[in-house]
Amino acid sequence: MFESIEKVQDACARGEYITDRALATTIYLAHNLNKPIFLEGEPGVGKTEVAKVLANITGGKLIRLQCYEGLDTNSALYEWNYTKQILQLRIDEAQGVDKDQIGANLFSETFLLKRPLLEAIQSDGGAPPVLLIDEVDRSDSEFEAFLLEILSDFQITIPEIGTIRAKHIPYVVLTSNRTREVHEALKRRCLYQWIDYPSLQKELSIVKTKLPHINNHLARQLCNMMQIWREGDYYKKPGVAETLDWGLALIALGKDALDPDIVDETLGCLFKYQDDVQRAQGADLHEFIARAKRLSDSSPDEESEKADWVYSDG
Amino acid sequence: MRNQKRQIGSIQTGNFMRQRTLLQEITAFCHLLKQMDINVTTTNQISFCRSLEIINIAHRDEFYHTARTNLIANESDRETFDLAFGLFWKFPRPTPHPLERDEDDTGAPSADESSLQELTDMVQDDGGDFTVNEWLELNSEENDEQEAGDTIAYSPDDVLTQKDFSKLSPEEIEKAREAIAKFAALLATKLSRRKELAVKGKTIDFRRSWRKNIAYGGEPLTLVHKRRKIKKNKILLLCDVSGSMDCYSKFLIQFIYGMQQEINEIEVAVFSTRLTNITGLLRRKGVEEGLREMAEVVPDWSGGTKIGESIIGFYREFARSFTANRSIVILISDGWDQGDADVLQRSMEMLNRHAYKLIWLNPLLGSSGYQPVCRGIRTALPYVDYFLPAHNLESLVKLTKVLVPIWSR
């Protein structure tokens, strides 16, 4: 499935993830060059999803490491199981094991607790795992430096055991919401890809893939409405995740068309900041919905999705 | 530099596409990107070349995406990259036929070519080496010309304060730098979430304690303690450069310079009606050259003041870089605000929520009899952690003294 960029795109589509050409190129190259992927973009545009779908289509195990400030090697890499070691000592003692032998095996793999990074490197069986290092921007620079080391060699040194080298180089996907700038050195080790809010056509295919039960008409109105929302000046514009939430909410409420009341009641699916909700409420919902409906009626039924051409959005 | 010029020149004549091997082309392209301040490493270039072996390079889309994913590491570089890519690989902008690129070499100069001219000028501009002192001299002359018209925004009494920084000798500047350094050093640290081992630490490090006591068969004989590490702060410096602040520009420059020297992670932005992030500029060009260029880059230098709009604009663009690490925000402004009071209030609320500490340094606070009565300040004050004077050396020294006991909790 990694023979060509088109095949990557098809495979992702089968895994219910709609990619554009740029992202498919990055995935294709990541596979063939064994390089990590670095994905940046606003929250809710489907960065994490890339790793999930990659695991899904390759059949590899998804190993996730959620980053936070203060994340250290003990929770990212490995830890010794101290209680187990102490118990072992006690057992050895009770059984009257030879003095020289007591505690001889304390620092062996039996007593090693594997954390995500070690797990990804050590995994052997079948397809290479997909290592998702989520929200790298939340970690601190110490952890970034540590990642640099691992991502360049895919090997880990544990002083008590020795160096462990990856049997299969895992797929690595790093994501960042850009709450701060991640260090260039780390980004430059990776294939970089910015994921933007989707175009109308792309969003429509996403909605139809993810919510197969949605009425065609509603899907179209929904997506047009999202494009209109995103033109507005909000602190946090709604992403694809919000679109899907909103679609689900509308289905659950049994609606097959947008109307001002229902939009007003479900704004919570779309905006997560009080300021934004207020601004959205202040907007002319009637006019917005009328526009969305006009747009959905005027666009022809199945417009083929054009490859998003490089300069068309510039 | 000259080499660069030649390359761009030959793109214009359209000849050189046929003169070199692909590898040379790529090297030249990466070189062009570097000239345009995109930091392409050799590793990136190698990775790009390796990628080319496995893609269809006759396919423009594929080639473009491969180049982009390998060579840039910031979305903000994208525009520059697209420009460079369009120029270098000679792809006319919107065209449906990817492979017919060599055929329209002649024709009226397009928008691309004018930007090409700019680019050439930009690349050629060597600029002279200025020291801060020289720059300050230069700037003071400019200022003198402007001041007559620009200082009407506040009482004549305040105009006197401009002398505070304008007539400094090099030794005094050195002193000023020290004062700023002290101030910066004070702000530079806070307690981290990470812990480090410490004999006098208050919490027990269980992991290490267990590890150590294994030697005693698991009896907890000794305990290892830890405490919170001291962490470097991130600082966001927002400087008002509107007309009413003109006479403090020397102080501002000294201050920015000093802070940049002392603190690694500092973002500097200047604003009057709009906010411009000049961190990259200062970092690339150094403070002297950077500041010289700053006046050109910043569109509304010495214009009116819209504090609220500027701050909100900043959050939209550079967004949440400051929420995660909870940086210290230092706002330097006299508070003469012509913007919408509601917007100002909203922006201050935002800053207050996202910043670890919000410090407002007000040069006017230094003049006797000043009361913070103007609308801008009244709106903003409830959200500010520290509202402090900063107009000359002495005030900075005092400032540091005031802050020490509060800061070292």
Locate the domains of chain B by residue range: 2-124, 145-187+233-407, 192-230
Burial bucket for residue B19 (CB in 10 Å: 0-12, 13-18, 19+): exposed
Q: Buried (b) or exposed (e) across B102-114, using 16+ Cβ within 10 A?
A: eeeeeeeeeeeee
From chain B, pick out residues whose CB is under 8 angstroms from the CB of A21: 61-62, 65
- Give the residue from A78, A142, A81 showing the smallest Cα distance to B193: A142
Q: What would the mean pLDDT of B111-136 be, rounded to a whole number?
A: 40
Compare B107 and B234 and report the one with higher pLDDT: B234
Search chain B and give the residue with CA nearest A41.
Answer: B75
Compare B251 and B110 and report the one with higher pLDDT: B251
Of B69, B76, B87, B316, which to mutate for an interface test with A (greatest number of A Cβ within 10 Å)?
A: B69
What six digits make up the tokens of A195? 């994921």
Compare B215 and A217 and report the one with higher pLDDT: A217
Compare B309 and B92 and report the one with higher pLDDT: B309
Inter-CA distances, A305 with A25, A186, A203, Å = 17, 34, 11
A90 close contact with B: CB closer than 8 A: yes
Q: Answer whether A29 sits within 8 Å of B66, measured CB to CB.
A: yes
Q: Answer whether B51 sits within 8 Å of A194, measured CB to CB.
A: no
From chain B, pick out residues whose CB is under 8 angstroms from the CB of A93: 217
Task: Looking at the complex, report in whole angstroms how far the Cα of residue B168 sits from the nearest Cα belonging to chain A.
Answer: 38
- Give the residue from B282, B251, B193 showing the smallest Cα distance to B393: B251
Q: Answer whether B193 sits within 8 Å of A138, measured CB to CB.
A: no
- Give the residue from B290, B390, B306 showing the smallest Cα distance to B347: B306
Q: Answer whether B54 sits within 8 Å of A32, measured CB to CB.
A: yes
pTM assigned to the model: 0.62
Burial bucket for residue A261 (CB in 10 Å: 0-12, 13-18, 19+): exposed
Helices then strands, each counted (H, E), chain A: 15, 9
Task: Looking at the complex, report in whole angstroms how far the Cα of residue B388 sits from the nearest Cα belonging to chain A.
Answer: 28
Question: Element (H or E) spanning A167, and its range?
Answer: none
Q: Answer whether B61 sits within 8 Å of A21, measured CB to CB.
A: yes
In this prediction, residue A249 carries a pLDDT of 93
- Among residues 225-254 of chain A, which lie with CB inside 8 Å of chain B? 233, 235
d(CA B251, CA B261): 15
The dihedral region occupied by B335, where left means phi > 0, alpha psi between -120 and 50, and beta the remainder, is: left
From chain A, pick out residues whose CB is under 8 angstroms from the CB of B73: 38, 184, 187-188, 190, 192
Lowest mean pLDDT among A76-80, B14-18, B155-159, B380-384: B155-159
d(CA A209, CA A220): 13
In this prediction, residue B291 carries a pLDDT of 67
> Residues of chain A whose pLDDT is less than 70?
299-314
B196 close contact with A: CB closer than 8 A: no
Decide the pairing of beta strands B266-271 and B275-277: antiparallel
A251: Cβ contacts below 8 Å, ≥ 6 apart: A211, A213, A214
Q: Answer whether A275 sits within 8 Å of B79, measured CB to CB.
A: no
**Tens digit of each residue's pLDDT (9 = 90 or more) over B258-272:** 787 777 778 888 887
Of A42, A153, A188, A237, which to mutate for an interface test with B (greatest number of B Cβ within 10 Å)?
A: A188
Share of chain A above pLDDT 70, in %: 95
B395: Cβ contacts below 8 Å, ≥ 6 apart: B366, B389
A167 close contact with B: CB closer than 8 A: no
ipTM of the complex: 0.73
In this prediction, residue A23 carries a pLDDT of 93
d(CA A121, CA A165): 7
d(CA B149, CA A259): 56
Q: Answer whether B64 sits within 8 Å of A79, measured CB to CB.
A: no
Nearest CB among A85, A184, A188 relative to B214 is that of A85
d(CA A93, CA A108): 19
Please give the CATH number for the structural domain made up of B145-187+233-407.
3.40.50.410
For domain A5-77+115-195, is the CATH number 3.40.50.620?
no
